[in-house]
Amino acid sequence: MVFKKLKARFGGGTTLQTHVHTPVAQPGGLVNGVVEIVGGEFAQDIRYLALAAEARVEVEHGDGESRQDMRFAHQHVAGQFVLHPGQRIDVPFGFALPLETPFNVIAGSELRGVRLGLRTELEIAKSLDKGDWDPIRVEPLPAQRRILDALVNIGCRFKSADLERGRIPGSVLDFYQEVEFYPPPEFSHAISELEVTFLTFPHGMDVLLEGDRRGGFLDSGGDRIHRLSIGHEAIAREDWESVLRHHLHELGRRRGFFG
């Protein structure tokens, strides 16, 4: 299945098309496809062909915020070769996504605030053309999906998702994903919003739960964070609905004179 065809025209009429064949990938998995290169009017010395995974990230400034595309993985798919006039070369690829790759699809539905893509790079002689974005779709790992499902099961309602620039301790990326929920009705008096962030490792994952607490008597409110470290083997054993309900209770518990 081809989601989008990229076309970039280089000197001499060389054209480039990137086809993504993987309908939905997962963090740590592969995005498969092929890059089609067609030679132009004269022979050209191709130095390399590469792909880069990029994410559209929110960046905060002193006077507001902006969005920029940040690279988080890079892979060469072909080395040096000569492209002859009119010659067509198809270069298949299997692009490896990092385990911390954010997701932008849940149960087939797009997360509009999370934009991910592959950018194709072709260096001809000493001229580098980065081409355009080819969108990719990434769904949560089963362990991540279990936590998200448990939040919905206890009454959380999805609000939004985005990517923010910054480094969380233990992370290898320079940005992180936040999935925002409205809390269940039983906690809405204490928490106005719940933000969830996943950090995934080969042995397991950390789940960051950040509750935006409402203020009260002798309690100014503000954010409170709980960090859960979960081994992959524990996902199927725990009652995550009960575990998460407990953490929401603790996130919303007041610290005033009487609480």
pLDDT in tens, 11-48: 567 888 899 999 999 999 999 999 999 988 888 888 99
SS3 235: coil
The strand pairing partners of 25, in sequence order, are 138
Does residue 8 carry a pLDDT above 60? no
SS3 254: coil
What secondary structure does DSSP assign to 51-85, as a single string?
Answer: EEEEEEEEEEETTEEEEEEEEEEEEEEE--EEE-T
pLDDT tens-digit map of 166-213: 999 989 999 999 999 999 999 988 899 999 999 999 999 999 999 987
pLDDT at 222: 64
Mean pLDDT of 58-82: 87
Report the alpha-carbon distance of residue 171 to residue 10 in Å, rounded. Answer: 38
pLDDT at 128: 62
Residues 6+ apart with CB under 8 A from 204: 143, 229, 230, 231, 232, 234
Does residue 55 carry a pLDDT above 70? yes
Mean pLDDT, all residues of the chain:
87
Report the alpha-carbon distance of residue 114 to residue 163 in Å, rounded. Answer: 6
Cβ(129)–Cβ(14) below 8 Å? no
pLDDT at 131: 66
Report the alpha-carbon distance of residue 34 to residue 94 in Å, rounded. Answer: 9
pLDDT tens-digit map of 91-131: 999 999 999 999 999 999 999 889 999 999 988 876 666 66
Cβ(199)–Cβ(175) below 8 Å? no
Report the alpha-carbon distance of residue 16 to residue 5 in Å, rounded. Answer: 9
pLDDT at 125: 72
pLDDT at 127: 65
Sign of the dihedral defined by the CA atoms of residues 188, 190, 193, 196, in that order: negative
Q: Please identify which residue in the block is written with the tokens 């919003």.
A: 193
Mean pLDDT of 139-144: 96
SS3 179: strand
CA distances, 88 to each of 36, 82, 124, 160 (Å): 7, 11, 15, 43
SS3 6: coil
pLDDT at 15: 84
